[in-house]
Amino acid sequence: MKKLVVLAIAAIAASSAAGAAAQKGGGGPLSVLLGGQGVASPDGKVRYVALTTGRQTIVSVVRVRGGQVDRWRLLPGYFGVPVISLDGATAGVSHDGKKLVLATSAGGTTTEFAVIDTTTLKLRRIMLRGLWSFDAIAPDASTLYFVQYSGPGSNAAYSVRAFDLQANRMLSRPVVDRDIGAGLMRGWAVTRTTSSEGRWAYTLYAKQKGKPFVHALDTANRKAYCIDLPLALGQPEQMQLRLRLRADRMLDVRNGRYMVATVDTRSFVVHRH
Amino acid sequence: MRRFLVLALAIAAVSAGGAHANGSPYSPGLVYGWSGVGAQGSGVRFVAFGMPKSTIVAAVRARDGQVLQSKVVRGFYGVPLVTYDGTSGGLSGEGTSLALASYGPYPGQAGKTRFVLLSTRTLGVLRQVVLPGSWSYDAISPDGSMLYLVEHIAGGSNPRYRVRSYDLNARRLIPGAIVDRLENESVMDGQPVTRATSSDGRWAYTLYARDKHEPFVHALDTVRREAFCIDASSSRPNEADGAAASTCRCPLNAVGDSERQAAGCDRHPFVRAAAWLDASTRRRIVRNLVRTRRVEGVHPVRSRSHRPSAVKRRSR
């Protein structure tokens, strides 16, 4: 049974610690990445890298081949590239390549996001009350998806929320699997893969007590589906799982070298190996 | 004509930097972001991002653009440009030290110029150098112990300056200028157009264009604190060559090893300089090579006929 599940992100609530972890390649949602790989543009030609003094942030456009810094801009405030899963994956660039989202390292009473025009590097700020993290962006950057946490700590529940960038407002209802209906989820976002057109974000969640599941977010239509994986794995083993989306739209779930399940992303039918 | 070319060159170089390089009225200036300065063979480039009160220095891997590490340095620094074609400097030949520079006051005006030496391994500050007056970076010795700076005496279209050395271990400016001993003129003029550096980082060959004289190559031995000036026109003192050298934007090529070095421009064959150690005296000899087809190697003649008197001289 599909279930919108449990549990919040590990103990990454302390923002500074999360930031430091992210810089070392650890971290996870609620943390941001400074330096390092940043986040690559959809065409793979440049990567956006954030560097900060604490009070100010440099967002730089670095050529992947050659490492030249083509452009950069100084932003007031502390921002980093959002880390969206515990394997250190980053996100934030829309598939059309026009918008980049940076985030503060969550932990205060408010969470701030910076939406940057990748052509002009002009900044637009989004300030949200409470604990939030970046989740995804629509291919045309019309909608941003954030994760709203019910509170700090490793056991906090959360919900996925959609922000209409053109209307500059948060949609009132969470983005949920309609078959389930519940708005609150629990689990650790372990890894993510995104469809080639940038529309679907498939995130594998691990659960402390229960089976892992894949959260399939349709970023173009503001819809979500939860797909339970029939895998009797403990939490440490669930943390090792990885996703790979094939050209035939089959989503492979791998544990190291072994494929343990396949999800048909058209029907959401799961095949166990 | 040449004055126009020199001025146009300087203006073009400054504007070519665009958002990346901020030109100085008296020196090639500093570069922020962009290519920074690359360590030969290491595949890492060092980039500076200047902010109002601090600078972020980042080590970027050229292979994939990943930022390997970064650090905040107090003060407003940039990667120094050494010539108007956008050649940057600051990295020691051994690749262990990185010198960044600030802008100083206009020559003759009150103020200070600051430099900072960083470890390329940690990006931590090794030394800070603050000098009264108008200075710019010129070169650094391969082991990072000696900094070569240009002390600007006069700005304008025909700037005058002298090359000085700063002992980073002793933390002091060494008295006197680095001069061509045979020429013994400490004050130089001209605009640095392009530069080639020997593979070990020891020799810096800089082509200078001048307002009313022929271009010349300034060969700086950063280990022995010696300099040699070689007239580019000593073989072909004609207007066309001078003008061509003034607009030479192609990088000089440096070839050779620690014993023998040469630098030259393939498109302007009169721009040639070679240096080698005299086998008998161990004295470094520098002379120009003219009309060689390519700088593919140096073929030194280690006979006594190549005494310093054979060095082509820069006429004034």
Task: Note the ipTM here.
Answer: 0.80
State whether A66 and B33 contact (CB < 8 Å): no
Predicted local confidence at residue A54, as pLDDT: 85
Predicted local confidence at residue B274, as pLDDT: 56
pLDDT band, very low/low/confident/very high, at B261 (cuts 50, 70, 90): low
Does residue A38 belong to the interface with chain B, where contact is any CB pair within 8 Å?
yes
Least confident of A262-271, B25-34, B227-236: B227-236
> Which of A53, A73, A119 to probe by mutation at the B interface, max B CB count within 10 Å?
A53
- Minimal Cβ distance to B72: which of A46, A53, A65: A53
Instruction: For chain B, list residues whose CB is within 8 angstroms of any CB belonging to chain A.
Output: 19-20, 32-36, 44-45, 47, 49, 51, 54, 56, 58, 60-70, 72
Residue A219 or A179, more confident: A219
Residue type, B247: T
A169 touches A65 (CB < 8 A): no
- Residues B168-175: contacts with CB under 8 Å, at least 24 apart: B168/B117, B168/B126, B168/B127, B168/B129, B168/B144, B169/B145, B171/B127, B171/B129, B173/B131, B174/B225
* Residue B22 predicted with pLDDT over 80: no
pLDDT band, very low/low/confident/very high, at A2 (cuts 50, 70, 90): very low
Least confident of A25-39, A74-88, B196-210: A25-39
pLDDT band, very low/low/confident/very high, at A29 (cuts 50, 70, 90): low
Give the C-alpha separation, B18 to A122, whole Å.
18
Provide CB contacts within 8 A for B233, sequence distance 6+.
Answer: B214, B215, B241, B242, B270
What tens digit of pLDDT does each residue of A127-141 get?
Answer: 999 999 999 999 999
> What is the share, in percent, of chain B residues with pLDDT greater than 70?
61
pLDDT band, very low/low/confident/very high, at B205 (cuts 50, 70, 90): confident
Tokens at residue B51, please? Answer: 């902010």
| Chain A stretch 127-156, residues whose beta carbon is closer than 8 A to a beta carbon of chain B | none
Mean pLDDT of B218-240: 68
pLDDT band, very low/low/confident/very high, at A181 (cuts 50, 70, 90): low
For chain B, the residue count is: 316
* Residue B199 predicted with pLDDT over 50: yes
Predicted local confidence at residue B268, as pLDDT: 53
Predicted local confidence at residue A65, as pLDDT: 93
Mean pLDDT of B30-41: 86
The separation between the first and the last C-alpha atoms of chain A, rounded to the nearest angstrom, is: 19
| Chain A stretch 60-79, residues whose beta carbon is closer than 8 A to a beta carbon of chain B | 60, 62-72, 74
> What is the share, in percent, of chain A residues with pLDDT greater than 90?
68
Strand partners, B166: B147, B173
Confirm whether pTM is higher than 0.90. Answer: no
* Residue B36 predicted with pLDDT over 70: yes
Give whole-number Cα distances, B71 to A176, B123, B149, in Å: 42, 6, 25
A30 touches A133 (CB < 8 A): yes
B241 touches B232 (CB < 8 A): yes
Provide CB contacts within 8 A for A168, sequence distance 6+.
Answer: none
Predicted local confidence at residue B51, as pLDDT: 87
State whether A58 and B56 contact (CB < 8 Å): yes
Domain boundaries along the sequence of chain A: 15-272
> Which of B57, B67, B68 to probe by mutation at the A interface, max A CB count within 10 Å?
B67
pLDDT band, very low/low/confident/very high, at A1 (cuts 50, 70, 90): very low
Predicted local confidence at residue A124, as pLDDT: 95
* Residue B257 predicted with pLDDT over 50: yes
On average, the pLDDT of chain B sits at: 73
Predicted local confidence at residue A270, as pLDDT: 94
* Residue A184 predicted with pLDDT over 80: no
Q: What angle do CA A151, A156, A160 make, to 5 degrees?
A: 90
- Residues A197-203: contacts with CB under 8 Å, at least 24 apart: A197/A95, A197/A139, A198/A42, A198/A94, A198/A95, A198/A96, A198/A139, A199/A95, A199/A138, A199/A139, A200/A265, A201/A91, A201/A135, A201/A136, A201/A145, A202/A243, A202/A245, A202/A251, A202/A263, A202/A265, A203/A84, A203/A85
Q: Which fold has domain A15-272?
A: Methylamine Dehydrogenase; Chain H (2.130.10)
Mean pLDDT of B173-198: 78
Does residue A256 belong to the interface with chain B, where contact is any CB pair within 8 Å?
no
Q: What angle do CA A159, A160, A165 make, to 5 degrees?
A: 140
CB-CB neighbors (< 8 A) of B54 in chain A: 53
Predicted local confidence at residue A158, as pLDDT: 85
pLDDT band, very low/low/confident/very high, at A125 (cuts 50, 70, 90): very high
Give the C-alpha separation, A155 to A207, whole Å.
11
What tens digit of pLDDT does each residue of A76-122 get?
Answer: 999 999 999 999 999 999 999 999 999 987 667 889 999 999 999 99
What tens digit of pLDDT does each residue of B71-117 get?
Answer: 999 999 999 999 888 889 999 999 999 999 999 998 888 999 999 99
**B109: region left, alpha or beta (phi > 0 left; psi from -120 to 50 alpha):** beta
Give the C-alpha separation, A36 to A68, whole Å.
14
Our CA-based measurement puts residue A238 at a distance from the nearest CA of chain B, in whole angstroms, of 29
* Residue B49 predicted with pLDDT over 50: yes
- Minimal Cβ distance to A35: which of B58, B62, B63: B58
Cα-atom radius of gyration of chain A, to the nearest Å?
A: 17
pLDDT band, very low/low/confident/very high, at B184 (cuts 50, 70, 90): low
Least confident of A32-36, A137-141, A205-209, B262-266: B262-266
- Minimal Cβ distance to A47: which of B36, B47, B65: B65
> What is the share, in percent, of chain B residues with pLDDT greater than 90?
36
* Residue B201 predicted with pLDDT over 70: yes
State whether B60 and A62 contact (CB < 8 Å): yes
Does residue A32 belong to the interface with chain B, where contact is any CB pair within 8 Å?
no
A116 touches A130 (CB < 8 A): no
Predicted local confidence at residue A182, as pLDDT: 61
* Residue A26 predicted with pLDDT over 50: no
Give the C-alpha separation, B316 to B314, whole Å.
7
> What is the share, in percent, of chain A residues with pLDDT greater than 70?
85
- Minimal Cβ distance to A62: which of B44, B65, B72: B65
